[in-house]
Amino acid sequence: MEPSRKRITSHRQLVVWKKAFEVSMQVFEFSKAFPREECYSLTSQIRRSSRSVTTSITEAWRKRRYEPAFVSKLNDAETEAAETQDWIQYAVRCGYLDRKHGVALFREYESILKTIVGMITHADSWVFPLSPRDARKLRREEP
């Protein structure tokens, strides 16, 4: 490991997780203005899928000792990010989200998708068995 690189010990340190979390909060804020009749359709679906990106990344991180499980959860994150892009397109097309913000959100998810696909492609560099010391350290983390 390079001396200048800090070792990542939590999913919350992952740039992709941070970005997905912030973008999902933007989606939440924009969705507050969606019409009431979309409450159980577009609004709930776009909120669910945008939040599922981070939760799937979190699950992948916690399963990184087992490559198939790690990749499976990253595939879930990839699917949810792509689904969120679809919901963004619906929101723009229905006039609930202006095109400028829709394009910006869509591009953010495109960047997130590229990172997730890169993690899947190079899963072997992310997966490793935890030492007992590292496992104890992770259990002591606070949210």
Mean pLDDT (the chain, rounded): 91
Sign of CA dihedral 53, 58, 62, 65: positive
Q: Report pLDDT for 141.
A: 65
| Averaged pLDDT, 94-122 | 98
* Residue 129, both tokens: 């068995």
pLDDT beyond 50 at 136: yes
Sorted by sequence, the CB contacts under 8 Å of residue 11 that are 6+ apart come out as 17, 57, 58, 61, 62
* Residue 15, both tokens: 């740039």
Distance CA 140, CA 58 (A): 17
- List domains and CATH numbers for the chain: 27-125 (1.20.1440.60)
Q: Report pLDDT for 118.
A: 98
pLDDT beyond 80 at 114: yes
Provide the pLDDT confidence category of residue 4 given band limits of 50, 70 and 90: very low
pLDDT beyond 80 at 19: yes
Provide the pLDDT confidence category of residue 18 given band limits of 50, 70 and 90: very high
Give the relative orientation of helices 99-121 and 67-93 as an angle to the nearest 10 degrees.
170
Provide the pLDDT confidence category of residue 84 given band limits of 50, 70 and 90: very high
Per residue in 22-40, pLDDT (tens digit) is: 999 999 999 999 999 999 9
CA dihedral in degrees (116, 113, 85, 8; nearest 10)?
50
